[in-house]
Amino acid sequence: MDIGQAWNESQLTRDPLTGRPVRRLTSRGRINQTPTYHTNSGFSADGRYLVFASVRQGATWIIRAEVATGELKALWRAPGIGDRSYIHRGMALDFPDVDGRGICGNRVCVAPRSALAVFTCERAIHAVDLHTCQPRILLEDSGEQWIFGAPCISPDERHVVIALSSAHPDLRAGSRPRRRYLDVPDHKLRLVRVPIDGSGTVETLYEHQPAQSAHCAFCPADGNLLYFDLDLPPRYWGGSDGKTPRIWLLDVSTGRVRPLKNDYPGPFQVHQAWLWDGSGMCYHGGLPGGGNYFGIADPAGRTRWERCYPQASFYGHNTPDARRPAIIIDGEFSQHLLQWLYYDDQDTVPHPKLEPICAHSTQWGSIPGQYSHPHPLTDAAGQWISFTAAKAGRSDVYVVDVAP
């Protein structure tokens, strides 16, 4: 396979439950994985293209998919397999040829209007043009002491911000890990900003120790407002310190930080994302007695909607729909379905307002790390929802057409 090569390996079916058209974009390779669930991070501005990472032919590729037709195009090639940051966090693929010189879909995002895929590989941040395949290096070397979180793009598409966290001290020293990443008590977090034009200037926006983070995202309506996860010891992303809110906001111009809000139905927020208009963030987390809570709060910390559902007993993610007053979820109420959870219900409604989208039927945990997680995403028009699904030890990328 060559850079710039185009081909089609897709299959079009209809979901047996909803009848919606579902296109399986990939049927080859070992791992195919979309970006994370963060708003506006995977599709081009017109919704025509989706970008994802693919492990095939002994390497890892950045691939562009034309979602309506299934045509794929190879944009960039990493020489190896397995993401260095994932390896340090203890979430590596269990393939014998993993060398840390590959790409994870969780470390890929898109600058939608600029038509650039931005991603990390080893200790560098790269970008590649979705049309010309022209590459550029945004950050040549983060340093051996750091690992990357997921990159995000500023609303004006002039900068990339990314969370750096401490590398595993044993791996950094060249030895086998004697303890889990989560068991190291003094990790350091640094949020940095890098120009997307490749000029290479690196600005430190915020630092905290002890802490780590893998997620940050700009408010779509305010390029000065950045959300980030603050993961504290002893459990970091597995529960933090059990009392401090996870969702924090950074005022980029002043460097001041504050929690989105202080009070939640449970002590930890698992996944969160900006609404498309930037008027708030959706979030969810576990209830102390079991189940999940879901909510939306505006940037000032005012709760707009919040519900507790003990029956939502599974692990899953959430991302806002671009067209409907709903959150797209992939696991909390059903381990096998993508669903809309509507937030236009009344306080007196005792049950969740759910609508099925399609089956994803991923085999959760069948591949180490998050390679089996659906991580749903929608385009800006709300026509397409992408997801990843794992079966029989490999994963594929799908899109479902949800146009009315």
pLDDT tens by residue, 264-307: 999 999 999 999 999 999 999 999 999 999 999 999 999 999 99
| Residue 347 pLDDT greater than 80, yes or no | no
Distance CA 374, CA 330 (A): 7
Percent of the chain scored above 90 by pLDDT?
97
pLDDT of residue 401: 99
Share of the chain above pLDDT 70, in %: 100
Sheet with 31-33, strands from edge to edge, namely 6-8, 71-78, 59-66, 49-56, 31-33
Helices (H), 243-308: none
CA 330 – CA 339 distance, rounded (Å): 6
Q: For residue 40, count other CB atoms closer than 10 A to its CB.
A: 26
Q: Return the residue matching tokens 């080893």.
A: 122
Per residue in 296-324, is it b (16+ CB within 10 Å) or e — as a string? Answer: bbebeeeeebbbebeebebebbbbbbbbb
Which of 37, 12, 17, 30 is CA-nearest to residue 374? 37
pLDDT digits (tens, 9 = 90+) for 158-183: 999 999 999 999 999 999 999 999 99
Check whether 79 has a pLDDT greater than 80. Answer: yes
pTM, to two decimals: 0.97
pLDDT in tens, 217-261: 999 999 999 999 999 999 999 999 999 999 999 999 999 999 999
Q: With cut-offs at 50, 70 and 90, classify the pLDDT of residue 39.
A: very high
Segment among 156-160, 282-286, 349-353, 395-399 with least mean pLDDT: 349-353
In the prediction, which pLDDT does 287 show?
97
pLDDT at 350: 75
Q: 113 and 158 in contact (C-beta within 8 Å)?
A: no
Q: What is the mean pLDDT of residues 37-63?
A: 98
Is 163 within 8 Å of 157 (Cβ atoms)?
no
Q: Give how far Cα 119 sits from Cα of 12, 42, 126, 136, 214, Å.
A: 29, 11, 5, 11, 14
Helix H or strand E segment including 71: strand 71-78
Residue 347 CB partners (closer than 8 Å, separation 6+)? none
Instruction: Give yes or no for residue 1 having a pLDDT over 80.
Output: yes
pLDDT in tens, 186-217: 999 999 999 999 998 999 999 999 999 999 99
Q: How far is CA 229 from CA 16, 28, 259, 274, 312, in A?
A: 37, 34, 10, 13, 23
pLDDT given at position 328: 99
> Whose CA is closest to 101, among 113, 117, 85, 112?
85
| DSSP letters for 177-217 | -SS-GGG-TT--EEEEEEETTS----EEEEEESS-B-S-EE
Question: What average pLDDT does this structure show over 326-341?
Answer: 98
Task: Spell out the domains of the chain, with CATH numbers in brackets.
Answer: 6-401 (2.130.10.10)
Asked if pLDDT for residue 349 goes beyond 80, the answer is no
